[in-house]
Structure 1
Amino acid sequence: MSTIAPIIETTLGYQYIGFTLSIACYGITTVQTYLYYRTYQDDSRPLKAFVFVLFLLDTLCSAFVTHALYVMLVANWGNVPALHFFPWTFAAENGLTVLITLLVQCFFATRVWDVSGRKWIPTAIIIITALVAFGSGLCLTSKLFMTNYSTAIQSSFFMITASLDQGFASLCDVIITGSLCYYLKSWRSSGTKSTVAVIDRLFSYIVARGILTAVIQFLLLITFVTVKRNEAWMLAHLVLSKVYINTMLATLNGRQALRGKLDNIVLVTTHNRAHTPGPRLSEGHLGNMEFSSNDEISISTGLQGFASTGKEPQESL
């Protein structure tokens, strides 16, 4: 029994802790999904269907991990050689995780497309890096289906594909964060206090999201490649899909407050412009780096693109 205990601790122990964390995160996903459908009933059907598909995939991930742990802890209890094999549901869960990662990264690629004024280069780079990570993740998943854990973990093919998967996924998240911050910064430099406050709030959302996903991917890569005596990498892997979905849902669910601020900016600016007699004093002077009401409306309208509902944009004021 003394020789079995360390094996259980370094395998099932980390799997159980990771499973507990992932189920807690799944609860947050469920609440956020409920709030989304309750609050944003006017969103476009494709966007609502996209959220539903992600929630369904994440539910399947949780179900597959539950089945895998049941096989390990109940069906194969006391069978030490079975600890060196992954049930097929764990391999399937890995495939769903890389798919969820791709879908969420493509969603944020559309945000970059909107904020950048439909510049295709940053969007294309994001999609390419996301596809490389996705392809590597699929290769890793197929390896899990074809071979047992002990053989796969020791192969150079497994190490390379895992490194490409996590490495390019982390790179993609960094590019998404950097691109959004870059284009929002260009708006910040020509905005007033009202729009700057909104942009600063967006900065906090974007940076927090990028740091969280990139750090989880990086920790998964480091622990998987360097820590070979145990399955510590399971802690990061089992919460990965939940982190991606929750960061996306947080972005969607934060739009109401953001759009309210933007609408107020546009209404106040338009009102001031309409009631300014004589020459348009609100247009300011270039020497003082003041900006016109048209600039204010343009920035606000651009920010509304980031907080869009997925419907056709309304005619600008």
Structure 2
Amino acid sequence: MSILPFLGPLLLGGLVSTFLSGVVSMQTALYTSVYHTDTIWLRAMVYVIWVLDLLHTMFICIADWDYLIANWADPTIQDWIPWSIGGTVMLTALMTFIVQCFFAWRVHTVSYRKWWITTILAAVASARLIAALVSTAYMIRLQSYEAFRRDVGWVFTLGLSLSALLDILVAASLCYYLRKSRSAFSSMDAIVNTLTFYTIQNGSLTFVTTFISLILWVTVDNLIFLGLHFAITKLYANAFLSTLNARKTLRLQQSSAEHDPSLPVVLGSDRHSRMRMQSGRMARPGMTDSIPMSTKQVEINIERSVQISTDFDMHDEPDTEMEDVSSKGTPPGEF
């Protein structure tokens, strides 16, 4: 028996997954040190993901030990499914479900709470969870890859397909509603572009890994798919934590955009113009409004900027460096 086509991918996938698990722990430590005022449910979600990731890594190590050390001399080892492999599939299902529900909640937020989109995403995530749990039960029961492929292999295929589909739906929905949130200000558009880049990056990593694992499972009769399946869990956990940890950077970028002196001054009414002239802010004679905008347009821009901030601030501690707009004498609803 050659070790390369059968057991080599398990060892390599285990090593990569262990490295990615260290990244998850680093991101968890960063989150703990920076975000002290997040809601209880969000902090609990972070630590649940971290604990499940550690258990997943532990099960991978147990599986590698069973394959490469304890049963090395067994000529039929490549067809054996230990309980630890079934455990990794179960933990992958749980972590993927939690992370995908979080991203579905983000879609619900940026879509101005359109429940039909959230319901579709939650239904697909639940179906993927059920398929993975059924696969876990049959893996532990049958203990044979050949029997598993023959009897319920389609269930495992369905689970991976639903996971890849959900990645596409979440990424496409987030990109669509973020692009709709673009404003008339180039600085705010830069923030939206950054959010879109994060969305595409996180979604593409998980989708590509899941899709390749699915193709290998369907077309290749060895354990290469399992090595990639180990890494799927870590990529979802890192996508979740990197989204949370990026909020400080995005908040600073948004604060810089709000204090950027190059932003156009919008004068929404004659009364506001007179107030600025009396305060000496329009000292040059003959100066007129260069960018006329209606009050309705200004209110729409304000609503969009608040929506973006709500999605990524997560009730975090407000930035103390931001100036109060009302202290400058600017009426509510206008820049």
* TMscore range, shorter length: 0.7 to 0.9
Considering fraction of residues, name the structure with more helix.
Answer: 1
In structure 1, the partner of 2:193 is 200
In structure 2, the partner of 1:138 is 133
* Distance in 1 separating the partners of 2:275 and 2:307: 27
Q: 1:175 to 1:12 in 2, by over 3 A?
A: same
Q: Aligned ranges for residues 164-313 of structure 1 at < 5 Å?
A: 164-188=158-182, 190-228=183-221, 230-266=222-258, 277-278=273-274, 281=289, 284-285=292-293, 293-310=298-315
Deviation string 1:122-179 (CA, Å, 9 cap, x unpaired) is 1111111111111111111111011022333431522x11121011111111110111
TM-score by length of 1: 0.88
* Distance in 2 separating the partners of 1:180 and 1:114: 10
Q: 1:279 to 1:177 in 2, by over 3 A?
A: farther
Q: 1:161 to 1:12 in 2, by over 3 A?
A: same
Q: CA deviation at 1:182?
A: 0.9
* Distance in 2 separating the partners of 1:279 and 1:294: 20
Pick one of 27, 49, 55 that aligns with 2:50: 55
- Aligned letter for 2:188? T
* Distance in 1 separating the partners of 2:297 and 2:316: 28
- Contact 1:192–1:296 (CA under 8 A) maintained in structure 2: no
TM-score by length of 2: 0.83
- Aligned letter for 1:309? M
Deviation string 1:1-34 (CA, Å, 9 cap, x unpaired) is xxx2x2x222211100110110111111111111
Deviation string 1:229-284 (CA, Å, 9 cap, x unpaired) is x2111231010100000011111110001112223444669996699633894872
* Distance in 1 separating the partners of 2:301 and 2:149: 58
Aligned length: 306
- Aligned letter for 2:229? H
Pick one of 137, 155, 172 that aligns with 1:161: 155
Q: Secondary structure at the match of 1:183?
A: helix
Q: CA deviation at 1:293?
A: 4.5
- Contact 1:195–1:265 (CA under 8 A) maintained in structure 2: yes
- Contact 2:266–2:292 (CA under 8 A) maintained in structure 1: no
- Aligned letter for 2:242? A
- Structure 2: runs of 5 or more not aligned: 277-288, 320-324, 326-331
Q: CA deviation at 1:296?
A: 3.6
- Contact 2:142–2:148 (CA under 8 A) maintained in structure 1: no
Q: CA deviation at 1:95?
A: 0.3
Quick check: which has more Rg, 1 or 2? 2
Q: 1:85 to 1:296 in 2, by over 3 A?
A: same
- Aligned letter for 1:118? R
Q: CA deviation at 1:185?
A: 1.1
* Distance in 1 separating the partners of 2:224 and 2:68: 18
Q: 1:76 to 1:24 in 2, by over 3 A?
A: same
- Structure 1: runs of 5 or more not aligned: none
- Aligned letter for 1:217? T
Q: CA deviation at 1:298?
A: 2.1
